[in-house]
Structure 1
Amino acid sequence: MARERVRDAARMVVKVGSSSLTTPQGMIDVDRVDALVDVLAARRQSGTQVVLVSSGAIAAGLGPLGLRARPKDLATQQAAASVGQGVLIARYTSSFARYGLRVGQVLLTADDMMRRSHHRNAQRTLARLLELGIVPVVNENDTVATDEIRFGDNDRLAALVAHLTHADAMVLLSDVDALYDGDPRKAGSARIADVRGPEDLDGVELGSGGSVGTGGMVTKVQAAKIATGAGVPVVLTAAAHAAHALAGADVGTYFHPGGRHPGTRLLWLAHAATGRGRLHLDTGAVAAVVDRRMSLLPAGVLKVEGDFAAGDPVDLYGPHGHPVARGLVNFDAGEIPELLGRSTRELASALGPEYERELIHRDDIVILEPHVP
């Protein structure tokens, strides 16, 4: 039985959405939090290491700030997160303490998954917390994240954390009990019990998020794709069914794993990053990068667009006008025009030895689509 992988998982990531933790007015629902913690604590006490990825910081800050709905501007979202994150972690601390368990707060930005030193530090911190018997409570660091470096939703964050921690399974808890082949509110819609590949989702329409959270079925399916592509099975169900889902029961939708574990940074680049600029390549450069998996050199770049810094993700476009890859660039946008069309040897001779390097190293490139001539 496939769901035994969830039942027997030695380490799992559980993600819960804002709507499963708060009232419509944005206040923390103590009973809902306690009910979730009851399930997670029981699993933790059975010997499983649990990482909780929890939304709810912004939603929890709405009530204390006197806001009636989730703010649309980034500054107010950050203010709400600043107030709400303290409320949220205090509630988890108190609730887990009923079982003699301690929690540790881990706030991440997408930048932490991309920068080599940052993601290694995050990985070490999470690993040590688990070794010490702590339940890590992970959330996006909404107080400092900008539009350019946001995960966009905690579903994708959970998938990346599952990979980062080498989890055996991931459970996505929402206010919807499963993925359906139609609107679950309408008669005739059937639960999709298993997803083994993209073909199982052909013709399925996915809804959007609600007023409190930012996610929806689209982001949950995307998160499941990220996790299963890294070999991690996923169960999607309602928070009310958490105990059954963790026990491997036939609830919700089970996404079967189908991939190997790629590097976390490359996983982030492919699924969670947004290019902050564009490099337009000639045909030869596209063939070198996409077909032969080589580094990108200045000689093959025709044009640069955007304002980015060294280390930022940029999209690589081919002559056909579509992105073919994404990578972490080694130069600022302002430096690149002078390098275009020139060999690294020529650049080193003219500008110095520090310019005898690739624009993007092959280890920092992910392919976005098959090469289109």
Structure 2
Amino acid sequence: MTVRDFVLRADRVVVKVGSSSLTTAAGGIDGDRVDALVRALLPRAGRLVLVSSGAIAAGLAPLGLTRRPRDLATLQAAASVGQSMLVHRYATAFGRAGHQVGQVLLTATDVVRRTHYRNARTTLDRLLELGVVPVVNENDAVATQEIRVGDNDRLAAIVAHLVSADLLVLLSDVDGVYDANPRRGSATMIREVRNDADLEGVGTRGAGSAGVGVGGMATKIDAARMAASGGVTTLITSAANAAAALAGAEVGTVFHPSGPRRASRLLWLEHATTPQGRLFLDDGAVNAIVDRRVSLLPAGVTKVDGDFAAGDPVDLVDPSGQPVARGLVAYDAAELPGMLGRSTFDLAAELGSSYEREIVHRDDIVLLQRKP
């Protein structure tokens, strides 16, 4: 099946659009750009999830701000003002064609905690069943650095897995991935990516041309690789090419799936978290985690490094300190030293039944690629 055929047959599609494709350089929503985007998306309405940046940028002009603020409180204020304006604009544009939109604001907690993860997936599934177009954004009005996904390209990759999408389309103001910066001279577009070798020498960072976004080509490449590693075909192109891309035209850069489908929360854990500490394992625990895919018990941990709380991501490392896996720890760092090397039976007998549990449950562990 050609890429064109696959795109045309894709059932569920996630489309992400960046701030620079929706707003003016001074801040504020560009209505013509939003309308053009919606027209391109209309043929997929009812089977489409839209991940949209632009809330903070949209809130700048109404608040009299001339540039993206640096302090968290003002960023959150701009997001609060801009988010309602952005969703209203989408609701108006889709409404002209008889389609409803639904706002879904997510934080990292919503895609990693089991209960939140199930709730987010159920809500998005139900919205699609009802023919509604979910408009997803990170909850910038309340998110702090500690609970941020990081950027909407990465969020879109996670959402693509969350809704079992067939296709992820990342739109910006650049029409694909090039082997050099196309604004600075000669450059050749990379049409297809099947492995990291196809991206050798590519590394473009920076905000969009409008200067109001936080992403760049590097974040889109990272998100595309993240989605593809979990089995989702991904296309990077410009917002101007949105209609052509969804019609199966040969535009942009296609990232072919490079791994099997897996839970988006594990994808997030591997690609989008910063470990807050390390748990050193003995050789037996390393083999149990890597080969048998079991939970991590206190008996296999030899040392604790870092200051973390229950629920935080930590790296599980071998005796030499090389990470073999990452997981969500079930205890605070301060609780662990007295538990190391002991059986859960002994711990329960001494400390109570609440200690008769894993340090990291197998459902909260993702294996990391080990360096040779």
Equivalent residue for 1:304? 304
Q: 2:159·2:264 contact (CA, 8 Å) conserved in 1?
A: no
Residue in 1 aligned with 2:4?
Answer: 3
| SS in structure 2 at match of 1:257 | coil
Where do residues 69-148 of structure 1 align in structure 2 (5 Å cutoff)? 69-148=67-146
Q: 1:70, 1:180 → 2: CA distance? A: 28
- Post-superposition shift, 1:301? 2.2
In structure 2, the partner of 1:172 is: 170
Query: Contact 1:3–1:254 (CA<8 Å) still a contact in 2?
Result: no
* Pair 1:52-2:50 in alignment: yes
Q: How many residues align?
A: 369
**Structure-1 separation of matches of 2:12 and 2:226:** 18
Match of 2:237 in 1: 237
Equivalent residue of 2:240, what SS?
Answer: helix
Instruction: Identify the residue that residue 20 of structure 1 maps to in structure 2.
Output: 21
Q: What does 1:123-272 align with in structure 2 at a 5 Å threshold?
A: 123-210=121-208, 211-272=211-272
CA-CA distance at 1:196 after TM superposition = 1.2
Quick one: distance in 1 between partners of 2:369 and 2:257?
A: 21
Closer, same or farther in 2 for the Cα pair 1:278/1:65, shift >3 Å? farther
Q: Give SS of 1:185's match.
A: helix
Q: Given residue 61 of structure 1, which amino acid in structure 2 is its aligned partner?
A: G
Q: Deviations over 1:183-202 (max 9, x none)?
A: 11233210111111111111
4+ runs deviating over 6 angstroms: none
Deviation at 1:103, TM superposition (A): 0.4
- C-alpha distance 94-129 of structure 1, shift in aligned 2 (>3 A): same
- In the TM superposition, what whole-angstrom CA distance separates every residue of 1:23-52 from its partner, at most 9, and x where no partner exists? 0111110100000011111332xxx61110
Q: For residue 300 of structure 1, what is the amino acid of its counterpart? A: G
Deviation at 1:293, TM superposition (A): 2.3
The Cα shift of 1:148 comes to 1.5
Deviation of residue 73 (structure 1)? 2.2
Separation in 2 of the partners of 1:318 and 1:208? 36
Cα 1:43–1:265 shift into 2, 3 Å: closer
SS across alignment from 2:3: coil
CA positional deviation for 1:371: 7.0
Once structures 1 and 2 are overlaid, which stretch shifts more, 159-168 or 201-210? 201-210
| CA displacement, residues 308-353 of structure 1 (integer Å, 9 cap, x when unaligned) | 3322222223333333211011112221122122222221221122
Q: Secondary structure at the match of 2:189?
A: coil
1:65 and 1:314 map into 2 onto residues whose CA distance is 40
Local SS of the residue matching 1:269: helix
Taking structure 2 as the reference length, what is the TM-score of the superposition?
0.95
1:16 and 1:54 in contact (8 A); partners too: yes
d(CA) in 1 for partners of 2:307, 2:140: 23
Where structure 1 has 5 or more consecutive residues not aligned to the other structure, the ranges are: none
Equivalents in 2 of 1:258, 1:239: separation in Å? Answer: 25
1:273-299 CA distance string (max 9 Å, x none): 222332233343333323432321212
CA distance in 1, matches of 2:119, 2:345: 36
Partner amino acid, structure 2, of 1:96: F
Residue 40 (structure 2) aligns with = 39
Aligned partner of 1:359 in structure 2 is: 359
Kindly report which structure 2 residues correspond to 1:255-334, keeping only aligned pairs within 5 A, or say none: 255-334=255-334
* 2:154–2:222 Cα contact (<8 Å) kept: yes
Moved more, 225-234 or 10-19: 225-234
**Secondary structure at the counterpart of residue 184 of structure 2:** coil
Mapped to 2, the partners of 1:39 and 1:25 lie a distance apart of: 25
Deviations 1:168-192 (A, max 9, x none): 1111100111100111123321011
Q: Percent identity?
A: 64
* 2:50 partner SS: strand
Asked whether 1:62 is paired with 2:60, we answer yes
CA distance in 2, matches of 1:42, 1:165: 19
Q: Is the 8 A contact 2:16 2:171 kept in 1?
A: yes
Matched to 2:268, the amino acid is: W
Matched residue type, 1:281: L
Taking the aligned partners of 2:319 and 2:216, their CA distance within structure 1 comes to 35
SS in 2 for 1:207: coil
Q: Distance in 1 between matches of 2:4 and 2:194?
A: 13
In structure 2, what is the Cα distance between the partners aligned to 1:2 and 1:42?
18
